[in-house]
Amino acid sequence: MAKSISLAEYRVKFAGQTLVLTNLSAMYMPDSKSLVLADIHIGKATHFQKHGIAIPNTVLKNDLNKLETLIHYFNPQKIIVVGDMFHAENNLEIQQFKDWKLQFSAIQFILIKGNHDHYYHSIYKDLNVEVIQNELIAEGITFVHNLEDFKGEGFSISGHLHPGVLVKAKARQRIRLPCFAVGNEHLIMPAFSEFTGLNTRLDSNSFRFLAFTESDFFEF
């Protein structure tokens, strides 16, 4: 089910750079012309289906549409995925992704391995995805999947936690929104796929939460 995508931007200063956060769960780094995202979990719907849980696999189509919009908008040289690009085994959706990716063969795909990415030794090559085991350090920023595994000093960009905020409104209404968690040294990416949950338990003392909807950004 295709829906129109509207892109909202929110600029933040981080590690001496200006980062362009978007409401499509990805962020653009103009200095290095990189698009950064986390936790796409490609193959998740099919993995569930294989186990008898009927999740519609149009989910991946939406995710890829979103990524396509981002690519056309920013025209990045590389795409850095800070972990959990794939969900589980090699399945139909991985093939779907491979076909889709052909149109962007000029873009370098870099994956920092996440906890879900351990099945794929042979197919990363097939997909033309550069795999980095633990962390990637570029321009003073460490890209890592899980902030907890980051033992170094300085700035980091990570994923894994699926940060979100819980907004309480009148009459016991609650709205959950995905967000970027931005601290002085650490930035945590929202999960890219729409088939991912939210974690609203992050420490609000260490992070600003930049939450977004289909059209706008809100700071908490």
Partner 1 sequence: MKNDFKTSTGYELVVQWMAKSGNAPFDFQQKSWQAYHQGKSGMVVAPTGFGKTFSIFLAVVIDYLNHPQDYQKGLKLLWVSPLRSLAKDLAKAMSLAINDIGLDWQVSVRNGDTPQKERRAQERLMPDILITTPETIQLLFTQKNNSKWFKNLNCLVVDEWHELLGSKRGVLTELAVGRLLHIQPKLRIWGITATIGNLEEAAEVLMPYPQLKKQLITSKLKKKIDIQPVFPDGVEVLPWAGHLGRSMASKIIPIIQKHRTTLIFTNTRGQAELWYQIILEAAPDLAGLLAIHHGSIDGKLRIWIEDSIASGQLKAVICTSSLDLGVDFKPVDCVIQIGSAKGIARFVQRAGRSGHSPYETSVIYLVPTNTLELLEASALKQAYKDQHLETRAPVVLPYDVLVQYLVTLATGDGFTANDIYFQLKQTHAFKYLTEEDFAWAIQFITQGGSTLKSYEEFHKVAKDDDGFYRVKNKRISMLHRMNVGVIVSDSMLKVKFKSGGYIGMIEEFFISKLKPKTAFILAGRTLELDKVKDMTVYVKSTKAKNAITPSWMGGRLPLSSKLSAYLRLKLSEAAQIQTKDKELQFLNPLWNLQQSQSHIPKNDEFLVEYIQTKDGYHLFMYPFEGRLVHEVMSALMAFRLGKIKPLSFTMAMNDYGFELLSDQPIPLDEIVLKKLLSEDNLMEDVIGSINASEMASRAFRDIAVISGLVIQSAFGQVQTNKSLQSSSGLIFRVLEEHEPQNLLLRQAYEEVFNQQLEEARLREAIQRINNGKVVFKTLQSFTPLSFPIKVDSLRESLSSEQLDKRIRRLQQQNEQWQKV
Residue 174 interacting with partner 1 (CB under 8 A): yes
Least Å distance between CB 167 and partner 1? 12
Shortest distance in whole angstroms from residue 25 CB to partner 1? 14
Binding partner 1 (rule: CB under 8 A), the pick from 14, 35, 39, 47 is: 47
Q: Can residue 173 be called a binding residue for partner 1 (CB under 8 A)?
A: yes
| 174, containing H or E segment | strand 173-182
Tokens describing residue 64: 């890829």
Determine the interface stretch with partner 1 among 31-39, 47-55, 139-147, 181-189 (rule: CB under 8 A): 47-55
CA dist list (Å): 135 to 42, 122, 129:
21, 20, 15
Residue 30, φ and ψ in degrees, nearest 5: -60, -35
Instruction: Count the alpha carbons within 13 Å of 20 in the hemisphere toward its beta carbon.
Output: 16
As a whole number of angstroms, the distance between CA 210 and CA 220 comes to 6
Q: For 28, list phi and psi in degrees, rounded to 5.
A: -110, 135
Reported residue count of the chain is: 220
Place of tokens 């997909």: 127
**Binding status of residue 196 toward partner 1 by CB under 8 A:** yes
Element (H, E) at 191: none
Decide whether 157 or 191 has the Cβ nearer to partner 1: 191
Tell me whether residue 158 or residue 196 sits nearer to partner 1 (CB atom): 196
In the complex with partner 1, the residue whose CB is nearer, 34 or 91, is 91
Is residue 37 near partner 1 by the rule CB under 8 A?
A: no
Kindly tell me which residue out of 31, 154, 197, 206 binds partner 1, with binding defined by CB under 8 A: 197
Does 200 sit near partner 1 (CB under 8 A)?
yes
Q: Contact positions toward partner 1, by CB under 8 A?
A: 1, 46-59, 62, 87-88, 91-92, 116, 170-176, 194-197, 200-201
